[in-house]
């Protein structure tokens, strides 16, 4: 017998906690989110387009040429102007940063986190890389993480067929 959400109600949340839907909504209220075309224009005008997706997603779906790749787990350290681990581009709190994830959820939380450290122009792309790709904007890939050799190994090639 398989348990389902209907049969197993969620535990009562701790007092003061918020669900992810509430956290996401609160983050998005603070952002001036950009559709893919607006994000592309901002990028062409000098905004930093930052791809926070893991390597496996970038390999599977592609990338935006020229975007900065900074995985989510180090984002705040790379953009905080006070931090010794910051990027050279993190020169001040007025830097325009547009965050890109696969579908536009994690990027909203990441952009709000950058706003929390003072980067008031941080925002994200509605629909993420998937929407960017659908809009026909510049993208490269996907590319396999490991390229297969075009030549079969003599051990596994099997007998030649005529």
Q: Enumerate the active-site residues.
A: 101
Contact of 44 with 62, CB cutoff 8 Å: no
Residue 59 phi/psi, 5° resolution?
A: -65, -40
- Residue 114 Cα to chain centre, angstroms: 14
Q: Do the beta carbons of residue 48 and residue 95 sit within 8 Å?
A: yes
* Residues 98 and 127: beta-carbon distance below 8 Å: no
């Amino acid at each position: 017998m398989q348990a389902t959400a209907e049969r197993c109600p969620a535990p009562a949340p701790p007092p003061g906690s918020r669900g992810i839907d509430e956290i996401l909504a609160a983050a998005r209220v603070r952002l001036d989110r950009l559709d893919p075309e607006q994000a592309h224009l901002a990028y062409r005008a000098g905004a930093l387009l930052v791809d926070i997706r893991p390597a496996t997603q970038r390999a599977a779906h592609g990338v935006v040429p020229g975007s900065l790749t900074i995985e989510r787990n180090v984002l705040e350290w790379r953009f905080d102007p006070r931090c010794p681990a910051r990027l050279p581009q993190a020169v001040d709190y007025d830097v325009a940063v547009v965050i890109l994830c696969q579908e536009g959820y994690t990027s909203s939380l990441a952009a709000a986190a950058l706003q929390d450290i003072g980067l008031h122009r941080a925002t994200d792309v509605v629909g993420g890389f998937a929407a960017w790709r659908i809009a026909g904007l510049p993208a490269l890939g996907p590319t396999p993480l490991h390229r297969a050799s075009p030549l079969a190994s003599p051990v596994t090639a099997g007998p030649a067929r005529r």
